[in-house]
Structure formats: structure tokens, C-alpha cells
Amino acid sequence: MTQNRVNRLLLTGAAGGLGKVLRDSLKPFAHQLRLSDVAPMASAGENEEVLPCDLADKAAVDALVRGCDAIVHLGGISVERPFEEILEANIKGVFHLYEAARRHGVQRVVFASSNHVVGFHKQGELLDTDCPRRPDGYYGLSKSYGEDLSRFYFDRYGIQTACLRIGSSFPEPKDRRMMVTWLSFRDLTELVRCCLFAPTLGHTIVYGASANRDKWWDNAGAAHLGFQPQDTSEVFRAKVEAQPLPDPADLATQYQGGGFVKAGPFETLPQP
């Protein structure tokens, strides 16, 4: 890996919404992109490899990581789901990934964590990167586990990781909450680039949000990354504020995690 380009960069979750974005936007920063997902992906283009992989399969993940110089890990379930599904993709999967990185000498990982690690903090509260974690569901719990796991692999084996607590990365914010949490695709790409090439990464937690007017997150603790977002949700304010006002009694309007704080439970009770 040079200062500006990775020799072989692994991108997991390449068939997902953000994976498709980064598949295109990260090309200038890698001589070879190795793309993986359990879902179907487009055929390999120039300087690409397509390797389908189930993250719950330890041997398959080991083969996937072999020969890579850095990893951008988006793979796994990205919404709230029953614990059994989260367990396979998000908890076993991230463990298998770090074990493979250890065995094959990969020294830098960009891990897609989530704002849902802190989703049960109140809206309007300003959080730094060392704030107490308050996951808002099984998905948030899995990302909190990933943050702890990556810290262990840094302390024990020196594998450097950036944990990106991604806000809401879509073409545009969909509601008032996303006016605060929105992360443009351009800023997402820049954040990942900064994490890949920061001279010293260590174990860093960073919030993924654009330069929006209202803020719930403080990235002072990640200043060494040099991330400077360029976009803002302000250009969408009139469109979003034309929507009806949300119910202030709704838990989704009280907590930073939005609708995730209400998802589930998912159990199916046995019939009498």
C-alpha cells in the first residue's frame, strides 16, 4: 500500500447500496478491487475481482482475505432483523474477517459501524466518540460488538481499524432526522479514503455525517484522519420541512436511532 493507492483492496458488501457506490468511487485508490457479497453482483470490470462469500463461512472468509492489503468491510445485514440472522452475518462474520486479517497479515480495516451503536441517546444531545454506547437493537448491538472486536485485534495484534459510525447515507435526506444524520456519497468516499491513507490510524471511531447545520456528533477525537466533509443537507431543507411535523410523543422522534428504537421484537410464540 502506497500513500495514495492500495495494491489489493477488499470491499465486502459490494452488492449493497453503499457497496455499489464505493465499488465505483474507490477505484482510483486501488490497483485491484476484490469485491464480495452473498448477493449477486455485476461481473468483474477492469482491475476487479468478484468473489461471492458467505461471511458466516470461516473457511470462505479466510480465502477471501488472502492476498489483500486492506479491507473496507460493509458486509452483513444493515437493518434491524431477528437476532439469529444478525448473529450469522454481523457477529460471526466480523469475527471471521478479523481472524482472516490476523492470519494473512492485513494491517488496516475500515469497518462500517453505525450510528445505531448510540441510538438510544436523545436527539439533540451532542456525542463525542468516547460517549457511552447505547445500541438501539440487535443490529446496533452487533456493530457495538464489532467495535470491541476491532479494538481487541488492534491491542493484541496491531491491526489498525477505523470504525465508521455511519449516519444516513442516501442520495438525499428523507426526513427531519436525516437532515442531521445525512452523509452524502461524496463525503462517504472521502471518509473511507482518509481512513485508508491516514499515516497513523490506530483504533479510531469516527461519525459519518456531512457538514449539516444541526449536529449530534463531535469528531474532534478523530481529527487525525483529516476528514473534512464537503456537502450539507441544507440544500434539501425546504423539501424536507414541507413534510408534516412528526409526533413528538413518538419514540422515533425522541431518540437518535429513529425508527430502529421501535423495531421488533421478532419472536414467534408457539401456538397452544
Average the pLDDT over 246-250 and give the result.
96
CB atoms within 10 A of CB 156: 9
pLDDT band at 272 (very low <50, low <70, confident <90, very high): low
Instruction: Please spell the DSSP secondary structure of 131-197, one letter per residue.
Output: SPP---SHHHHHHHHHHHHHHHHHHHH--EEEEEEE-B-SSS--SHHHHHHB--HHHHHHHHHHHHH
pLDDT digit string, tens, across residues 228-245 = 999 999 999 999 999 999
Look at the alpha carbons of 63, 57, 19, 194 in this order and tell me if their dihedral is positive or negative.
negative
Of 20, 129, 26, 114, residue with least CA distance to 70: 26
The whole-chain average pLDDT of the chain stands at 96
pLDDT band at 1 (very low <50, low <70, confident <90, very high): low
The pLDDT value recorded for residue 246 is: 95
Average the pLDDT over 192-207 and give the result.
98
Of 72, 80, 86, 87, residue with least CA distance to 19: 72
What cell was used for 17? 447500496
pLDDT digit string, tens, across residues 94-142 = 999 999 999 999 999 999 999 999 999 999 999 999 999 999 999 999 9
The pLDDT value recorded for residue 132 is: 98
Asked if residues 135 and 119 have their Cβ atoms less than 8 Å apart, the reply is yes
The pLDDT value recorded for residue 4 is: 87
Q: pTM here? A: 0.96
Assigned architecture for domain 6-262:
3-Layer(aba) Sandwich (3.40)
> Among 98, 139, 153, 207, which one carries the catalytic annotation?
139
For residue 180, how far is the Cα from the chain centroid?
17
pLDDT digit string, tens, across residues 63-101 = 999 999 999 999 999 999 999 999 999 999 999 999 999
The pLDDT value recorded for residue 47 is: 97
* 238: enclosing H helix or E strand: helix 237-241
**What gap in Å lies between CA 119 and CA 123, rounded to an integer?**
9
Map out the domains of the chain as residue ranges: 6-262
Is residue 157 part of the annotated active site? The answer reads no
